[in-house]
Amino acid sequence: MRVTIFGTGYVGLVTGTCLAEVGHDVVCVDIDQAKVDALNRGEVPIFEPGLAPLVQANRDAGRLRFVSDPVESIGHAELIFIAVGTPPDEDGSADLQYVLAVARTIGRHLEAPVVVVDKSTVPVGTADKVRATIAAELAARGTLVEFEVVANPEFLKEGDAVNDCMRPDRIIIGSSSDEAIDALRRLYAPFNRNRDRIVEMDVRSAELTKYAANAMLATKISFMNEIACIAEHVGADVEMVRQGIGSDPRIGWHFIYPGAGYGGSCFPKDVQALSRMARQGNCDTHLLDAVETVNQLQKGHLFELVQRHYGGDIAGKTFALWGLAFKPNTDDMREAASRRVLEQLWAAGARVRTYDPEASAEARRIFGERDDLVYCDSDHEALKGADALIVVTEWKQFRSPDFARLHAALADRVIFDGRNLYHPDQVETAGIAYYGIGRGRSI
């Protein structure tokens, strides 16, 4: 099928590439000319495992094109996807300016019937706004063209996005139009072969489903971080507790890892946006507000452990910091826990030597060059001249360090482990003080 995708970020690029991979004819449109130019040179501007070779193969096969001019791409499409950002507004609500700008563009140039598919995460009622915006532009042109607006929220995970897109758990289609649902069923048929993964529902329920999914996952994380806080105060080890509860299938193993707080481009903004949306509907959100509060507190906790160890004085200290991305296997640093830790360390007069396998370029873009930050090319280089180590992102390569080497490298012989990667005994046996999250022995 002929597909146009607005927005060539983590969602748009991965979706477009996977649709091309199964044989669809895809045009990706982005207003960021530099991004389009890079993609047309064969460079993939984000790090996502497995994505670059797929982009290349489908470009070479002529099924995947990148443009910045939307006009031709709108004429091309049977289906137009909206996959642009929905960042938080000043009050935490989802900012719809990019979504509605795309709707205006579609309305200004649409000549033939089309299904508009909203993949961006948007508040309930947005499909109605998109529909009204397109209709207003068509009316202003005195043109009548049939179109449908479908809610089709995206559930891919950065770091495993290609896999999620090729083998989705579920495909939510929110629409009351049989024709539109049929078009999406045909589009997704290659991803829907061994069982029916498609869940059809009304538009508003589909829009809310995405927020509910992310809010549920964020709730699990904040719950576990609160248990970690309790464990720390009562002298228990949250890692033991995690194993004790995860084995209950009603609870499960996923998303019960305590840590340095959730980040990324989705959970923080989606929890906030859901809560603001609820309030606009006069609905209280005690649980969601607590989830957010716990997360805010948790993001400061690693630094509190550092302060506690040093008696509140870290001025002049140098910290090796492993991991900048908000989670492993991505270069995304939006709302990453590392950002808060860095700001706090700098504010207290400390210096940082940092290493991340993929996110250093993004960190350079955010922080630039500064005297109190050194970007290192390896985890070992980050240790040179460091007093202590802080681990913020659980990249696999940080999981089994040579503790004898750490003992030799770290002047103050202390590790602050924001992801509970290490066993306290293992670290302490090596002669290094250890602080984890929710490990009662660390107070």
Least CB distance to ligand NAD at residue 114 (A) = 16
The pair of structure tokens assigned to 325 is 């991305």
Least CB distance to ligand NAD at residue 231 (A) = 30
Whether the Cβ atoms of residue 230 and residue 440 lie closer than 8 Å to each other? no
Q: Which is nearer to ligand NAD, 9 or 263 (CB)?
A: 9
Q: Which is nearer to ligand NAD, 262 or 435 (CB)?
A: 262
Q: Which is nearer to ligand NAD, 154 or 358 (CB)?
A: 154
154 touching ligand NAD, by CB under 6 A: yes
Q: Which of 16, 134, 130 is nearest to 67 (CA)?
A: 16
The continuous run of DSSP H or E covering 27 comes out as strand 25-29
CA-based max dimension of the chain: 78
Catalytic residue among 18, 165, 229, 266: 266
The pair of structure tokens assigned to 316 is 């002049």
Is the torsion defined by CA of 53, 54, 57, 62 positive or negative? Answer: negative
Which x/- pattern over 52-91 shows residues binding ligand NAD (rule: CB under 6 A)? -------------------------------xxxx-----
Residues 6+ apart with CB under 8 A from 34: none
Q: What do you get for the CA distance between the two ends of the chain, in Å?
A: 60
Q: Which of 377, 253, 389 is nearest to 317 (CA)?
A: 389
Least CB distance to ligand NAD at residue 36 (A) = 9
**Window 364-423: residues binding ligand NAD (CB under 6 A):** none
Tokens 């906030």 correspond to 272
Least CB distance to ligand NAD at residue 283 (A) = 22
Distance CA 339, CA 252 (A): 30
Q: Which of 3, 6, 147, 358 binds ligand NAD (CB under 6 A)?
A: 6
Q: Which is nearer to ligand NAD, 98 or 303 (CB)?
A: 98
Q: Which stretch binds ligand NAD (CB under 6 A): 23-31, 240-248, 393-401, 434-442?
A: 23-31
Catalytic residue at 18? no
21 touching ligand NAD, by CB under 6 A: no
Q: Which of 318, 405, 383, 395 is nearest to 356 (CA)?
A: 395
326 touching ligand NAD, by CB under 6 A: no
Which x/- pattern over 251-290 shows residues binding ligand NAD (rule: CB under 6 A)? --------------xx------------------------
Q: Which of 176, 186, 204, 82 is nearest to 134 (CA)?
A: 82
Distance CA 389, CA 274 (A): 37
115 touching ligand NAD, by CB under 6 A: no
| Alpha helices (runs of H) in 176-202, residue ranges in sequence order | 178-188
Least CB distance to ligand NAD at residue 102 (A) = 5
The pair of structure tokens assigned to 282 is 């006069």
Least CB distance to ligand NAD at residue 130 (A) = 13
Q: Which residues bind ligand NAD (CB under 6 A)?
A: 6-12, 29-32, 35, 83-86, 98, 101-102, 120-121, 154, 156, 158, 265-266
Active site residues: 266
